[in-house]
């Protein structure tokens, strides 16, 4: 973790960040951890998530992996419940996960590539996952006086 430009006092606080192993999610995870929060990092299962959690822990942060696909309602609920159990509750939720659902941009003139499955995946991860994760986290957030 780099030196802080912004720091908060979040010792004793617990946070879950979806899509937290890269990009804006990773920057958010790093800021929360640097500020003293225990962080559950969500991403798809794999080496990237494992490496982020290991790096945070080696820097002295309290971090747990919350592997799972937030675009799947069952997995979104289960990973949220696991994260809350491992952290002992939840004070903050950052719904950050997103996907382009494709490795390369689809040209505007290739409407046939925009299938219903493609569109459903984008909506599930980029939009509906925030509902599923927030709904699963709401009891713990209420109990802690936290926020999503």
How long is the chain? Answer: 148
Q: Write the DSSP string, 60-105.
A: T--EEEEES-TTSHHHHHHHHHHHHHHHTS-SEEE------SSSSP
pLDDT at 107 over 90: no
Spatial strand order in the sheet of 38-43:
63-67, 38-43, 14-17, 92-94
Predicted model pTM: 0.91
CATH 3.40.50.720 fits 14-100+110-144, yes or no: yes
Tokens 């590539």, located at residue? 113
**Which pLDDT tens digit goes with each residue over 29-57?**
999 999 999 999 999 999 999 999 999 99
Exposed, middle or buried, 4 (CB in 10 Å: 0-12/13-18/19+)?
A: exposed
Q: pLDDT tens across 60-88, in order? A: 999 999 999 999 999 999 999 999 999 99
> Which residues face 78 on adjacent strands?
none
Share of the chain above pLDDT 90, in %: 82
**How do the domains of the chain map onto residue ranges?**
14-100+110-144
* Closest to 53 in 3D by CA, of 33, 36, 80, 69: 33
| DSSP assignment letter at 59 | T
The residue with greater pLDDT, 111 or 3, is 111
């Amino acid at each position: 973790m780099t030196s802080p430009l912004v720091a908060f006092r979040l010792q004793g606080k617990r946070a879950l960040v979806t899509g937290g192993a890269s990009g804006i999610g990773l920057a958010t995870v790093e800021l929360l951890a640097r500020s003293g929060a225990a962080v559950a990092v969500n991403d798809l299962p794999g080496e990237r998530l494992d490496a982020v959690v290991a790096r945070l822990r080696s820097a002295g942060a309290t971090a747990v992996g919350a592997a799972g696909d937030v675009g799947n309602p069952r997995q979104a609920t289960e990973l949220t419940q696991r994260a809350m159990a491992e952290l002992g509750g939840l004070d903050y939720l950052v719904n950050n996960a997103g996907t382009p659902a494709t490795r390369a941009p689809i040209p505007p003139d290739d409407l046939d590539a925009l299938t219903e499955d493609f569109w459903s995946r984008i909506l599930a991860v980029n939009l509906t996952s925030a509902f599923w994760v927030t709904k699963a986290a709401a009891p713990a957030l209420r109990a802690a006086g936290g926020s999503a």
